[in-house]
Structure 1
């Protein structure tokens, strides 16, 4: 990134922006190789350790748009500092956790604590654009996306090395110095004068509670989708109806469904994000667990097998980050996910190591293409006045994908992460990838994103 790419942009903001935005990817990706060791330590089945994933994403799926709204209203500084302090507290709790239940609570607290980094960064980018009078600072947007993707894809390798030297608790301990670094950078560099847009209306607490209840009941059903738990699905529908009724009538709703429902391109971006991230997180958690339990690799070796995923993802993001061919990027990314999932059907306990390495490499393409394209699309499609909330919702849909992925591998790997379960898991993911391709193909607005003004709040 050069000064020419972002003339006038306050470069002092980049370090706290990037560090805050990667806190969630750090805690997402390093856990991937720790699920099996944690299960052994607490004598827990994969269906139980799946809650370590779900707890973080239930918290973030609700908390991200809440914090995004607060960032829009009060500015990024206070929310950034409070949230990153919670990350440090959660790190200490994870290090000392005496049981799986306490560890799950630590993960939920991490989910809340990592909510502010990304909306704050997007808010600051938009604020700097207004201050300098310049359009999207492509270099900064690319740096933000590439840094998060880099952490996601090298996280399992780092997690494996941490576990090899310090045990699985070290992946929680690493949050303590990271939180301290965020607090110092936030205090020194984030603007004190920006107090957001203000607001006199109260927050939509009932809407937030209904949204959280809807996600929780849905997740409980997905973790055990049996006839005996069908009442949870009915409860989800009932809460969803109440949530919709509430949001359409509240003066300043948690999620403004009227604006949300009128912006067709933005909705499709959120749907693409959910589907793409379902597959991405499924590979991160499900495939990694099979490498350890099904293929017999250690946590550190499983992390190394995923290293090609990181190298390909970083390379693709770097080469294509400033190009605006949104449709082409997304098509290649979705097609790569289909191929990667089909290759999983060839795996068994005696597969040569080059096959998992090939699968990791193929899945690096969508890691480098999908997230960056969808993030930049939101920048152009969202209402500038609600950029923090829109960025938060993008992450919410990504986390919904992670929840679906954890529920799926929790079901297919109920007793152990064996080859038979992996094959059923792969079939499920092929269906999801095919649906993603269809959503991309039917969206005509992708060819116009970033090339011409798009009216906010209107369908394409």
Structure 2
């Protein structure tokens, strides 16, 4: 078995032995927002990029899929590395890659290079959430007290708010500097993370080495998930072999991991932790709906409603506001069941409201739809994040957090498949209504999953 490393504070940055070191919040929150901001900005950049390179919108969707594929595979891998070696080195290396990806995207001469930049962004943004969850848990061990609820709330609020504000920010960047500005923004963000990460993150001392990582498990996991997600990007009979590859690799992964003393995926623990597995599944379902709104509504506002990218981005500000407000108001309460019930119900309501939209819909109705989509954005993210914090093995908190993000990106990938099927070449009103029917079914499933999970009612009730 691996001896878990112990964190040691930098001697020039002493922390109180009794309270959470709030100086950690700056690098934590800065890195946590890197992925949602890049996920959201692209929502209003896809159509301008497709037009700039003269490619169909379906081809430009690889800018979304490529990032999610890289991040879905990378998050739990990086999380396990953080569990073994601590947060500092993975944080600095990967946030540095975000800056490199920003430069590459800003200078990209064609769509292929731009897709490569997005994949690199996906890898670079893998550190933020696992590092943050690791630090929250390690601070709880150091102080002997559970971390204050405000820290977990801040983590969720920032991620949700930035995801919601991203389309508006993207619209503003496109207005000021064209779509390339949406890549250039990563350069100052990466520098900010590198500066505060180098100054404030703790060093780690322990006996773990690079050999401690279960590389066969990592490769098999990455291969199985990649094959499955690649099929989701193009779900046709001619691509069915990818599903076969995914199944074979998954079976081999189960056999290999069950024989290891310290596996990358501790399947014995995961299979025995049904509440945690239910949280991953519920999170995936919630994000199928959430990302379908994020991308689908932004695309329809431009194609179906005839708005500019900047105007489409601004009209999603109510979504951001609703997300921030509800997460902030409910974040101090440790109970999560009520949050998830309300969040799931509002996803059903928002999906139904899509059926009321048409090419001449007024701004007021668009605002109402955005607000109804923003409420679950804040509640579901906060509730599922706090569920993982309570349900996961403390020794594997970073890897468990990474798997939560993987479930989110699988949901995001699934949403991109749904959007490609319902919209086709253009985001028409008819396509938007087809999307509404699909989301009503998915959101309804989400309601049943929350109501039927009795374990959620015990979290925060003690």
TM range (shorter): over 0.9
1:234, distance to aligned residue in structure 2 (A): 2.6
Please report how far the alpha carbon of residue 385 of structure 1 lies from its aligned counterpart in structure 2 after TM superposition. Answer: 0.9
Partner of residue 220, structure 1: 230
Contact kept, 8 Å, 1:72 with 1:197, in 2: the verdict is: no
- Mapped pair 1:144 → 2:155: yes
Structure-2 residue corresponding to 1:13 = 24
Alpha-carbon distance in 2 for matches of 1:436, 1:22 = 25
Q: Are 2:369 and 1:359 aligned? A: yes
Structure 1 residues 198-241: Cα deviation after superposition (integer angstroms, max 9, x where no partner): 35754222322222222232223223323333333233222222
- 1:223 and 1:399 map into 2 onto residues whose CA distance is 13
Aligned residues between the structures: 446
1:93-122: CA deviation from partner (whole Å, max 9, x where unpaired): 000111111111100100100011111111
1:430 pairs with 440, 451, 457, which one? 440
**Structure 2: how far apart are the matches of 1:43 and 1:204?**
44
Deviations 1:122-155 (A, max 9, x none): 1111111111111132111111111111101111
Is the 1:91–1:175 contact (alpha carbons within 8 Å) kept by the matching residues of 2?
yes
| TM-score normalised by the chain length of structure 2 | 0.93
- Equivalent residue number for residue 376 of structure 1: 386
Q: 1:410 to 1:216 in 2, by over 3 A?
A: farther
In structure 2, distance between residues paired with 1:407 and 1:206: 30
2: CA distance, partners of 1:195 / 1:39:
48
Residue of structure 1 equivalent to 2:208: 198
Question: Which residue pairs with 2:299 in the alignment?
Answer: 289
CA distance in 1, matches of 2:157, 2:27: 15
How far residue 336 of structure 1 moved from its aligned partner, in angstroms, is 0.4
Residue 254 (str. 1) matches residue 264 (str. 2): yes
**Separation in 2 of the partners of 1:197 and 1:312?**
46
Unaligned runs of 5+ in 1: 1-5, 453-460
- Cα deviation, residue 42, structure 1: 1.3
Q: What CA distance in whole angstroms lies between the structure 1 residues aligned with 2:323 and 2:211?
A: 43
Aligned twin of 2:404: 394
Q: Which residue of 2 aligns with 1:156?
A: 167
Q: Which of 121, 129, 132 matches 2:132? A: 121
**Equivalent in 270, 276, 284 of residue 280 of structure 2:** 270
**Is the aligned partner of 1:408 residue 2:418?**
yes
| Separation in structure 2 between the aligned mates of residue 149 and residue 424 of structure 1, nearest angstrom | 26
Rounded Cα–Cα distance in structure 1 between residues aligned with 2:237 and 2:73 = 27
Gaps of 5+ in 2: 1-16
The alignment yields a C-alpha RMSD, in angstroms, of: 1.6
Q: Which residues in structure 2 correspond to 1:1-80 (within 5 Å)? A: 8-80=19-91
For residues 113 and 177 of structure 1, do their structure 2 counterparts lie closer, same or farther at Cα, with a shift above 3 Å needed? same
2:10 paired residue number: none
Q: Are 2:90 and 2:127, in contact at CA under 8 Å, matched by a contact in 1?
A: yes
Task: Give the Cα–Cα distance (whole angstroms) in 2 for the partners of residues 308 and 196 of structure 1.
Answer: 47
Q: For residues 281-323 of structure 1, what are the alpha-carbon distances to aligned partners after superposition, in whole Å with 9 as ceiling and x for unaligned?
A: 1111111111111111111100111110011110001100011
Residue aligning to 1:330: 340
Shift of 1:406: 1.2
**d(CA) in 2 for partners of 1:44, 1:99:** 10
Equivalent position of 2:3 in the other structure: none
